Copies of this chain bind each other. A is one copy, B any other.
Amino acid sequence: MNTQLLERRYRLLGAGAPLFYNEPVHIVRGEGVWLYDADGKKYLDVYNNVPNVGHCHPHVVEALYKQSQTLNVHNRYLHELVLEYAERLTALHDDPLSMAFIVCTGSEANEIALRMARQATGNQGIICTNCAYHGNTTAVDELATYFHGGTSPSANVKAIPFPESYRPLDGLSGEALAAAYSDKVKQAIDEFEQEGIGCAGMLFCTLFSGEGLPDVPPGYMEQAMEHVRAAGGLYIADEVQAGFARSGEKMWGYRLSGVTPDIVTMGKPMGNGHPVAGVVARADLVNGFREQVMYFNTFGGNPVQCAVGMAVLDVIEQENLQENALVVGEYIRDGLRALQSEHELIGDVRGRGLFIGVELVTDREAKTPATAQAKTIVNAMKEKGVLISNIGMYDNVLKMRPPLPFSKDNADLLLSVLEDVLAPGISE
C-alpha cells in the first residue's frame, strides 16, 4: 500500500474522504474495461458505470477535444449543439417527456426534479425507499436513507420499505406482495396529508441500485403510482445509475415497469466521465418551473458537454451496447447461478443486463446477511485483479456494474476469479 499517497490524501482531503478496499488501489490508466495501477498491474473493471462505453473511448475523447478547441461557453447564447442533444435525448424517452435541462451532476438533476415537483404540486412531501441514495446536496441528502439509518432527517421525506421478492414483506408473494408494498406508499401519502405536507411525488432509482437490485413484485409500480397520482403527486425516475442501456432490455430502467415518469433524472454514464447530467420532463412541468424560477447552470448545456453526450449515444448505438448488456449480463447471471449451486453462501442472483447483484447469506433458510463475507470477497477479488463492490441494506450484495463493452471473455474471467475466491470457503 502506498502509505505516502495515503498520508498526503489524509492531509489534503481529510481522513474521511472515501476510498475503496482495505488496501486502496492506485490507478493510473484506463482503457476499455481495464484499469492499470502504478505497478502495471491490470484490473478487470466490473464496477464502473461512469465510463459506460469503456474507459477513454476514443470517439468520446475526440469529440471532447474537437469541441474544446472550438467553443466552450454557457448556453445563454444560442447554440445548435444543446438543441441537437436535447432533441436526441428527449427522442429516446417516452413521448410526454419532451423538454430537457442539461446540468453537471446527478445531484443537480435531482435538485431540479425536487424543486420542480414541489413547485408544480404545491406539496412538499417526497416518498423514497428506506435504502436510497440520490446525491449529496442538502435537499437530495434528505433522501439518502442508506446513510441515515433507513429514514430521512426531514419531515418532508418519508422512506418506505423498498419492494423485493427475496425477503418479502410479511412473507407474502405475487399480487398480495405487490399490494402490500404499494400499501406502504398509500400509508406514507396519508401521513403526509394528515401532517398538511401533501405528496409532491415519489423518487426511485428505477433499478433500486442502492437497495441491492431487488426483483420487484410485478404490478408494484403501477399500484404505487396510482396512489401517488390520486394524491396529486408525480413520478420522478432516477436513471443516474440505471439509464443509458445498462439494463440491456431497455434504454431506461423505468421502461421495465411500463410506468411513464413525469420527470426523469440522468447522470453518471451520460458523459463517460465528463461531468454531464440532465433532466427530461413533461413540457408543462418545465414551462411552469421556468416561469417561476430563474434557473441557470453555468456549465450546463455548454457545447462541450453536448458534444460529449452525443458521442456517448453514438457509441451505445454503433457498438450495440444495449444488446451486449443484455446478452453478457444474462451470461454472467447464468454463470453465477451455476456457482450458486456449489456455494451455500450465494443466496440470490439478481439484476438486469450489466447491473448484477449477488446476495450473500450465511444461512439460506434464515437469509442471514453475510456482510463480512461480502467485504472479504470484494477485497480478495481486487487482489486477484477484478474490481467489484458491495451494496444493499446489509452491504451483503456483491455489485457488478462494468462498462458496457464487457465481453463473454471478460465474464469468464470475472466468474473464474469469483470461483477461486469462493473455493477455499469464506469466513469472517
Contacts and interface: CB of A to CB of B under 8 A. Distances in A.
Contacts of A64: 64-65, 68
Interface string A311-341: 0000000000000000000000000000000
Interface stretch (A27-35, A212-220, A231-239): A27-35
Interface in A277-308: 283, 286-287, 289-291, 293-299, 301-302, 304-305
B27 A55 contact: no
Interface string A37-58: 0000000000010110001101
A69 B65 CA distance: 10
A108 interface: yes
A15 interface: yes
A164 B267 CA distance: 42
Contact of A70 (B29, B51, B79, B297): B29
A61 B82 CA distance: 20
Give the number of copies in the complex: 2
A27 B286 contact: no
Given A108-B107, A138-B139, A273-B299, A71 B56 contact: yes
Given A9-B78, A111-B137, A287-B16, A56 B69 contact: yes
The A contact surface, by secondary structure, is: mixed
Contacts of A17: 75, 290
Nearest to A298: B268
B71 A5 contact: no
A273 B302 contact: yes
Interface residues of A, number: 91
Given A56-B68, A56-B71, A105-B104, A2 B298 contact: no
A6 interface: yes
Contact of A9 (B12, B55, B83, B299): B83
Nearest to A90: B12
Nearest to A301: B13
A12 B50 contact: no
Nearest to A118: B138
Contacts of A141: 115
A273 B13 contact: no
A366 interface: no
B26 A78 contact: yes
Contacts of A11: 98-99
Nearest to A58: B69
A363 to B, nearest CB: 29
A79 B14 contact: no
**Residue from the set A16, A74, A275 with the largest chain B CB neighbour count within 10 Å:** A275
A68 to B, nearest CB: 5
A393 interface: no
Contacts of A295: 18, 136
A213 to B, nearest CB: 19
**Residue from the set A26, A48, A105 with the largest chain B CB neighbour count within 10 Å:** A105
B106 A105 contact: no
A346 interface: no
B13 A99 contact: yes
A105 B298 contact: yes
Given A90-B12, A108-B108, A48 B24 contact: no
Contacts of A13: 82-83, 86, 99-101, 286, 301
A401 to B, nearest CB: 13
A18 B74 CA distance: 11
Given A2-B78, A19-B78, A83 B27 contact: no
Closest 8 CB pairs of A and B: A16-B290, A72-B273, A138-B139, A12-B86, A275-B275, A275-B299, A26-B78, A14-B290
27 contacts: A5-B80, A9-B83, A11-B99, A12-B83, A12-B87, A13-B86, A13-B99, A13-B286, A14-B289, A15-B290, A16-B290, A24-B76, A27-B77, A28-B71, A29-B70, A35-B71, A48-B74, A50-B299, A55-B73, A56-B70, A64-B64, A105-B298, A111-B137, A115-B141, A136-B296, A273-B304, A274-B299
